[in-house]
Amino acid sequence: MSSIVIKTVGSAVNASSFVSSKFAAKKALKLFASPRKGRYTEDQKLLVETALQDEIRYNNMDIATYRWAGKGKTILLAHGWESNTARWSYILNDFKAQDYNIVSLDAPAHGRSSGKQFTAIMYAEFINVVAKKYKPDVLIGHSVGAMSHILSLYQNELPSVEKVVLLGAPAHFTGVFDRYKNMMGYNNRVSSELDKIIMERFGKPVSYFSTAQFTESIDAKGLIIHDKKDRIIPYEDAQLIAHRYKNSQLISTNGFGHGLKDPSLTPQIIEFINT
């Protein structure tokens, strides 16, 4: 959305809060959780059509999965917000050359998976279901996909997972949520009610959902990659995760942006997986 549209929508939500702050906050949360893109374009479909496709049924939802079979380590890929499995096109051939068994999934309300709204909590459940089926050795996630990998590891027993690669991962949901509130210009009535709704729906405060904190109890070896000029997730988030995630290393880049698709990173990821 353009800045003008964002300000207009934010102002409308703020105005409705003077009638009902709860109603306004529910509208704000729906906006936050509703991706505007992430379904497949015709070009992107060409990539996933090369994979073995499957749908796993979970809580009346279909989890779309894709597999490029190999005899090596099993890698589970989780994309980020408003994306889909096609985001991994830049690295697939290199992984195939290593004969990895590559598995990817589409997040809720993304790609070919079911749903109209997204939460990292539901994404973590999707990951758990897929991981139980394919038993991955390595988890690789971008942005909220990385956060969901860690949440899934924290909440579930996934004994097959030996290594985790976090690309542009947020350190905590608090920062993500605060940036959304600030971008929309929500007033205190809306912001406070949003926090209350999270507590009501998930039984935990916003501050509970912390990638950095969850990594403290994870034994799998970690590789954190983050760009110093990331405009979506601040570089400080990577530093916080690296500080808490004792069994990890941090690779800092400069100029690769939030997407981190630069080919120079691929050999480093492969070396991490293979050693």
Tell me the pairing of strands 101-105 and 61-68.
Answer: antiparallel
Per-residue pLDDT, 187: 97
CA distance 54 to 52: 7
56, 65 Cβ separation under 8 angstroms: yes
Per-residue pLDDT, 58: 96
pTM: 0.96
Per-residue pLDDT, 3: 74
Per-residue pLDDT, 4: 79
Look at the alpha carbons of 12, 14, 20, 24 in this order and tell me if their dihedral is positive or negative: positive
Per-residue pLDDT, 53: 98
Per-residue pLDDT, 106: 98
Sequence-distant (6+) residues with CB within 8 A of 36 are 1, 82
Regions of the chain short of the pLDDT cut 70: 1-2
CATH numbers and ranges of domains, the chain: 1-33+178-198 (no CATH), 42-172+209-274 (3.40.50.1820)
Per-residue pLDDT, 6: 87
Per-residue pLDDT, 2: 65
Name the amino acid, one letter, at 252. S
Per-residue pLDDT, 91: 98
**Cβ neighbours around 182 below 10 Å, total:** 11
Sequence-distant (6+) residues with CB within 8 A of 1 are 9, 36
Distances (CA, A) of 270 to 129, 163, 174, 255, 264: 25, 12, 32, 21, 11
Distances (CA, A) of 149 to 129, 174, 186, 233: 12, 18, 30, 17
